[in-house]
Homo-oligomer: A and B are copies of this chain.
Amino acid sequence: MSRLDSFIRRLKAQRVCLDLAAGLVGDLEGEVLELGLGNGRTYDHLRQLFPNRNIYVCERTVAAHPQCIPPPELLLLGDMRETLPAARQRLAGRVALAHLDPASGNVAPSRALAEELAPLIVPLLRPGGILVSEPTVHAAELTALALPERVDPGRYNLYRRVSSRG
């Protein structure tokens, strides 16, 4: 499998996981949180899935397609290790769906970042809220959900916040 094959599979896994998660939170009020804007493709997909929700976006430096730049009041600009704690007052327990994809293409740094960010993301999720994540995430409050049929285990990950701890 070439890196092109692998990339296509990852993007398709991302999309089908987000589409499934959107259904899972259909009856759960709350905000959406995109952890990393990048070129804005996934943000654009989230906008289509959630036309009536606020989509908060974390990004260090905005370099997205001009049509995919979030409104300034929903942009958490800076290092997520700082902006996520700072957003706690506004967003704690209010996020219905969060999406994390460091998109570095490098497994080890992505996992390390995910482990570092997990304790900062979890408190923002509503009980019952969903975290869609490319890297695996470990947290006592999160339980892994079944993946869509076409997604190989480990390629993408879905979690639900089951406890209100944190």
Cβ-based interface call for A4 (8 A): yes
Cβ of A8: which chain B residues have Cβ within 8 Å of it? 8, 11-12, 15
Taking a contact as CB atoms closer than 8 A, the residue among B5, B7, B12, B45 that contacts A3 in the complex is B45
Taking a contact as CB atoms closer than 8 A, the residue among B7, B47, B48, B67 that contacts A41 in the complex is B7
Cβ-based interface call for A105 (8 A): yes
Cβ-based interface call for A115 (8 A): no
Copies per assembly: 2
Cβ-based interface call for A133 (8 A): no
List A1-30 residues whose CB lies under 8 Å from chain B.
Answer: 2-5, 7-8, 11-12, 14-15
Give the interface SS of chain A, mostly helix, strand, loop or mixed. Answer: helix
In the complex, which range does the number of interface residues on chain A fall in? 20 to 34
What 10 pairs across the A-B complex have the smallest Cβ distances? A2-B45, A4-B45, A3-B44, A3-B41, A4-B41, A2-B44, A2-B48, A8-B11, A7-B41, A4-B42
